[in-house]
Amino acid sequence: MTDAVPQANTRSVPAKPASIRLDDEITRAGQHRSMRRADREVFDPAQIREILDACDIVRIAYQDAEGLSIVPVNFGYAYVPQPSAASASDAASDSASEPASDSTPAQAGLTLFMHSALHGRKIDAIRAAGNALDVAFEMECDCELIEGRTACNWSESFTSIIGTGKASVVEDPARAGEALAALMGKQAHMPNIHFTERQLATVTVWQVEADYFTAKHHPKPAPRHHM
């Protein structure tokens, strides 16, 4: 896909120690709160892509005139990793000496692609919001129970992505076809399917363009060896 996708998590993050807990973090209006278990946050683009590939379902939460709702759906995606600080600096230096162009590379970000029936609550909510519905989303995989020595020590290993963004109906037939191809590529491993206009007319293709997201990995601890 050639359309730019919105910027995702752009916080400058230093190298993380083996374990760190940000227990003093508080919620502030207009700011993104740092992950409390900062040692579990995932920043590597390859690992983020692995999480996206491993998850089959994304849950989309939204609010409409009826109230709060959440829906689990299959999805495809387009992910453009954030350039490193060095490459971003080089790009800025180059652009300073060159005229502006409409062919600017896509911003770092994530777009999720879904399809639905022609009518329904979530599609009505998107259209009622002017085709720009505020949503939150979550996906997880690699979930496995972790046994503890006491009841309070039991836990769960997992890998997840959580974020916010805007949901919109994809009106352009060409982009809708690309979105469905991305969905089929991920879910059915059939990435090069062409959809006719008649086929596209039977479904509603919609997308969530993330404005912010974080990835997290809580691994299962290595087994203890008893002497």
- Helix (H) / strand (E) containing 167: strand 155-169
Give the span between the Cα atoms of 208 and 77, in whole angstroms. 9
Q: Please name the amino acid found at residue 191.
A: P
Q: Which of 61, 172, 169 is nearest to 124 (CA)?
A: 169
DSSP code of residue 151: G
Let me know: does 114 contact 206? Beta carbons within 8 Å.
yes
Let me know: does 175 contact 1? Beta carbons within 8 Å.
yes
Give the span between the Cα atoms of 21 and 37, in whole angstroms. 5
Let me know: does 211 contact 166? Beta carbons within 8 Å.
yes
What are the backbone angles phi and psi of residue 226, rounded to the nearest 5°? Answer: -95, 135
Give the span between the Cα atoms of 10 and 80, in whole angstroms. 13
Note the pLDDT of residue 23. 66
Note the pLDDT of residue 223. 65
Beta bridge partners of 63: 68
Per-residue pLDDT of the chain (227 residues; tens, 9 = 90+): 444 444 444 433 334 445 676 667 666 776 676 666 666 688 889 999 999 999 999 999 999 999 999 999 999 999 998 765 444 445 444 544 443 333 323 335 999 999 999 999 999 999 999 999 999 999 988 767 666 677 776 666 668 999 999 999 999 999 999 999 999 999 999 988 999 999 999 999 999 999 999 898 766 666 665 55
Give the span between the Cα atoms of 195 and 208, in whole angstroms. 21
3-class DSSP state of 200: helix
Let me know: does 210 contact 8? Beta carbons within 8 Å.
yes
